[in-house]
Amino acid sequence: MSEYTTTVGLEIHAELKTNSKMFCGCKNDPHSATPNTHVCPVCMAHPGTLPTVNERAVELVLMVGKAIGGTLADFSEFDRKNYFYPDIPKAYQISQYQYPLVKGGELGGVKITRIHLEEDTARSQHEGEKSFVDFNRAGVPLMELVTEPVIHTAEQAGAFARELQLLLRTLGASDANMERGEMRVEVNLSVSKTDTFGTKVEVKNINSFKAAEAAIVFETKRHIETLEAGGTIIQETRGWDENKGKTFSQRIKETADDYRYFPDPDIPKLLRSDRPDWSDAALEAALPETPEKKRIRYAALGLPSDQIEIIISDVAREAFFAAAVGDDSYEKLTKTLANYFITDVLAHLESGERVLDRAHALAFRALGALVLEGHINSRVAKDLMVEVVFDGADAKALAEARGLVQRSNADELIPIIDEILAANPTVVAELKAGKDAVLQFLVGQGMKATKGSANPGMLAEIIKQRIG
Ligand SMILES: [Zn+2]
């Protein structure tokens, strides 16, 4: 049955990180613990109220569009998408239909169709016979990105969604947590044996990347099995049941006609030329470094891609690392810092007790440089790591004060070695008899006596000389 091709397009919604809602002054805080506190006559659709466009939300979508190389609309308008549901007070949602803010572009090798701006619905909660609605989320700015149907595997879809999440976080456009519903992925899938697409099914209620991937695998199998058994696929919307690991039929899919879209007469048309800071050049200049550009920069500094992915996967952590590397780092220092960052710094962060402060990034860099210059060895560096990285301590001053500066001076080390050899006659005899393994024990004693500050290679050399 391998002759079937799966084709997937994604529709991804993301709640934008603005202070206020999309069309009113209410606080944008959909996760607030107390329901129905961030509401006003506008987002509750009282008669006679008028919406005002949140320009920051427009700007964030334009930034995303710029980052993916899309074409930004010179002119845009908002439309009413009419449908009746308890979570939508106006009985229509303000969205963009004919004139989205962004068309085209590409992210992670996936072509983008469009990105538009709309408002989120309220949150419904069902408990037994009762249903509750929290309008704190109603009117929160929501970005919708639609990809071309060019994805063919679950892995590709997951990778795209993760890349978009990283981009949104990098731009500060959205926190994009799938588990919190700040980012929602819908899968449009069909299978076909020919160049013509098969019947498309939409899958919703997906609240993790893993669930998106699993839904694609499940639907592909269901489609193929249905077709092979002589059945037909119905165009419909299906939900993802996380517990059962399968999709289920929700409703027959509406078409655009069902929504009777029309331009919202209460909202003035958006002309980008009215805002000089929304020109292509101004947005380009204001754009933070994208994940793709970070990859290129770190690769040029000699970091392997697996390390780069770890570093750039968290925006705040990467900002700290980038500040440590600075504009003038060289390959050897960058690699040293990357190793310490991934093996030591991140381990301390995982425990959750410490947070990174960018003010201490240069102290971290200085620590790496001290190792490369041979002032301290790697073991001392690891011992000083917490104080330097999290408290901003001066590594050089600490090492000097504690007598941890690397001793590579033989004159200084010889008396220490002689003392150790005198105290361990049996071991010395074994070494003389050719039992090389005991050399490590003596080196260890030397490291202990120098509080880890000696150069272990040099200690081994001196021991061999002294007993030879
Ligand atoms: Zn409001």
468 residues of the chain, pLDDT tens digit each: 458 999 999 999 999 999 999 999 999 999 988 999 999 999 999 999 999 999 999 999 999 999 999 999 998 899 999 998 889 999 999 999 999 999 999 999 999 999 999 999 999 989 999 999 999 999 999 999 999 999 999 999 999 999 999 999 999 999 999 999 999 999 999 999 998 999 999 999 899 999 999 999 999 999 999 999 999 999 999 999 999 999 999 877 666 678 899 999 999 998 999 999 999 999 999 999 999 999 999 999 999 999 999 999 999 999 999 999 998 888 999 999 999 999 999 988 888 778 899 999 999 999 999 999 888 888 899 999 999 999 999 999 999 898 888 777 777 888 889 999 999 999 999 988 888 889 999 999 988 888 888 888 888 888 988 887
Q: Do 114 and 160 sit in the same domain of this protein?
A: yes
Q: Do 260 and 320 sit in the same domain of this protein?
A: no
In the listed set 278, 309, 343, which residue is the last one of a domain according to the structure? 278
Q: pLDDT tens digits, residue range 423-446?
A: 999 999 998 888 888 999 999 998
How many whole angstroms from 383 Cα to the centroid of ligand 1? 53
How many whole angstroms from 244 Cα to the centroid of ligand 1? 38
Q: Do 112 and 177 sit in the same domain of this protein?
A: yes
Q: Do 349 and 420 sit in the same domain of this protein?
A: no
User: For residue 252, what are its two tokens?
Assistant: 């027959």
Q: Do 32 and 173 sit in the same domain of this protein?
A: yes
How many whole angstroms from 26 Cα to the centroid of ligand 1? 4
Q: Do 90 and 129 sit in the same domain of this protein?
A: yes
* CATH number of domain containing 426: 1.10.10.410
In the listed set 346, 372, 401, which residue is the last one of a domain according to the structure? 401
The answer to whether position 284 is within a domain reads: no
Q: Do 199 and 330 sit in the same domain of this protein?
A: no
In the listed set 401, 419, 437, which residue is the last one of a domain according to the structure? 401
Q: Do 60 and 154 sit in the same domain of this protein?
A: yes
How many whole angstroms from 54 Cα to the centroid of ligand 1? 12
Domain residues for the domain of 298 are 289-401
- Pairing status of strand 236-241 against strand 79-82: unpaired
Domain count, the chain: 3
How many whole angstroms from 91 Cα to the centroid of ligand 1? 16
How many whole angstroms from 115 Cα to the centroid of ligand 1? 24
Angle at the Cα of 409 (from 408 to 414), degrees rounded to 5?
A: 110
The answer to whether position 213 is within a domain reads: yes
The answer to whether position 236 is within a domain reads: yes
Q: Do 414 and 380 sit in the same domain of this protein?
A: no
How many whole angstroms from 122 Cα to the centroid of ligand 1? 12
Q: Do 128 and 247 sit in the same domain of this protein?
A: yes
3-state secondary structure of 118: strand
The answer to whether position 283 is within a domain reads: no
How many whole angstroms from 45 Cα to the centroid of ligand 1? 9
What pTM does this model have?
Answer: 0.86
How many whole angstroms from 88 Cα to the centroid of ligand 1? 13
How many whole angstroms from 388 Cα to the centroid of ligand 1? 47
Q: Do 264 and 339 sit in the same domain of this protein?
A: no
H-assigned helices in 90-147 = none
How many whole angstroms from 1 Cα to the centroid of ligand 1? 53
Q: How much is the pLDDT for 255?
A: 67
Q: pLDDT tens digits, residue range 363-407?
A: 999 999 999 988 888 889 999 999 999 999 999 999 989 888 877
H-assigned helices in 287-359 = 291-300, 305-312, 315-325, 331-340, 346-350
How many whole angstroms from 139 Cα to the centroid of ligand 1? 7
Q: Do 75 and 187 sit in the same domain of this protein?
A: yes
If one counts every other C-beta atom within 10 angstroms of the C-beta of residue 262, the result is 13
User: For residue 417, what are its two tokens?
Assistant: 């070695």
